[in-house]
Structure 1
Amino acid sequence: MELEADKFWHDSIAHYEQPQVKEACLWLQNEKQLNVNLLLLICWLAERNIELTPDQIKVLLDASQEWHDQNIAMVRQLRNATKAASWMDAERREQLQQKLLESELTMERIEQQIMLEQVKGLSPTPKSPANPEQSFWNYLLLKNIPLDEEIQAQFGQLLTA
C-alpha cells in the first residue's frame, strides 16, 4: 500500500479545486469545526480501500492538533482579518492576503504529512471496497456531531467529485 505525502497533496488540491468540494469543505469547517485535511484524507484513503475507525481518527487529530492550532488557525485568522483592513489600499491588501494564503497552504501541506505519517503507523487493514461514509460517520461520532441531512448532503458533495 503506497501512501505518499506528495501524491496525497496533489490529489487533495485537484479534488478541493472542484467548486462543490470546496464549498462543502468550507461549510463543514466553518459550521461544524471539522478539519478539511482530515475530510480530504478520508476521501483519499477510501479510494485506496482504507476506512478509519473512531480511534484511528482520534490519533490523527491528536497528532496534528497542536500544529493546526498554533500555525494554520493563526495564519487563517490573520488572512481573514486582512479582508477588513480598510486602512490598507486594495492592492496591498490583496498582496498580503495572497502571501498569507501561500503560508497557510504550506502549513496545510505539513499537516497532511503529519496525518499521513500517523496513518502509516496505524497500519490500517485495506477493506474492499472501502466505505468513505463509514470513516466520515466515525469522525462525526468522535466529535459528537449528529448526522443530519445537511451534513450528509455536504459530505455527498465531497464524494461526487
Structure 2
Amino acid sequence: MTNQQAHQLLTMEQLWQFSLEYYSSREVKDACLTLQNQYHGNVNLLILLKWLDEHHFSIQEKDWHRVEQSLGRTEALLHHYRELRRKLKIAVSDTLYREALQFELQLEKQQQADLVDCINHLSLKSRDEHSLTQMYCHLLGADHLQAAFAKPVDVLLN
C-alpha cells in the first residue's frame, strides 16, 4: 500500500469504525483503560497507532511531535470532562449520565478527527520490525500491556 492509499483509507469515519470494532474486545478495552488511567496514555492515539500497525505503516521519528501536538486542542478538555463525568456518576440520573457519556464520545471523535488530519499531512513510511503500539507502551512504561495490543484485529474479533 502506498502513502497516498493510506491517506485515502484513513478518514475520520474509518478510524471511528475501527475504534469501535477494536475496543469491543474485552482484553483491548481493559488494556486501554489501564493505559489511560494508570499510565496517562491516550487511547485515541493508541488506536490510531494500531490502525497504522495493521496497515504496515509507521510515523517518521521527526514527525512524532506533530502527532502529539495534534492532541493538544482536545486532550485537556477530555481529561477534565472525564473527571467531571466520573464525579457526576453517583449524583445524577442514569439519563443525564448517559448524555454526559455521549458528549464525551463526541469529544473523543473530535480528537480522532484531529489525529487523522495530522496523519494525512505526514509522509508515512513502511513499518519496521517494531510496532507503533509496542513503542507507545514502552514510552509510557506499560510494556506489559503490549500483549493485549499485539494481536491482529481480525484475531481479536473472531
Unaligned 5+ runs, structure 1: none
Equivalent residues in 2 for 1:123-134, closer than 5 Å: 123-125=123-125, 127=126, 130=127, 133-134=130-131
**Aligned residue number for residue 20 of structure 2:** 13
**Aligned residue number for residue 29 of structure 2:** 22
**Aligned residue number for residue 155 of structure 1:** 149
**1-structure distance, mates of 2:151, 2:31:** 6
Give 2:87's aligned amino acid. Answer: A
Q: Find out whether 1:112 has 2:109 as its counterpart.
A: no
Give 1:13's aligned amino acid. Answer: L
CA deviation after TM superposition for structure 1 residue 147, in Å:
5.5
Give 2:79's aligned amino acid. Answer: A
Any idea what the Cα deviations from partners look like across 1:16-73, whole Å, max 9, x if unmatched?
Answer: 1221111110011111111000110011112222112444332112121231212x11
- Structure 2 length normalisation: TM-score? 0.80
Q: How many percent of aligned residue pairs carry the same amino acid?
A: 26
CA deviation after TM superposition for structure 1 residue 115, in Å:
0.5
Q: Find out whether 1:44 has 2:39 as its counterpart.
A: no
CA deviation after TM superposition for structure 1 residue 131, in Å:
5.7
- Structure 1 length normalisation: TM-score? 0.79
Query: Is the 8 Å Cα contact of residues 137 and 145 (structure 2) preserved in structure 1?
Result: no
| Counterpart selection for 2:88 from 53, 59, 82 | 82
Unaligned 5+ runs, structure 2: none
Q: What is the aligned residue count?
A: 148
| Counterpart selection for 1:138 from 120, 135, 138 | 135
User: The residue matched to 2:120 in structure 1 has which SS?
Assistant: helix
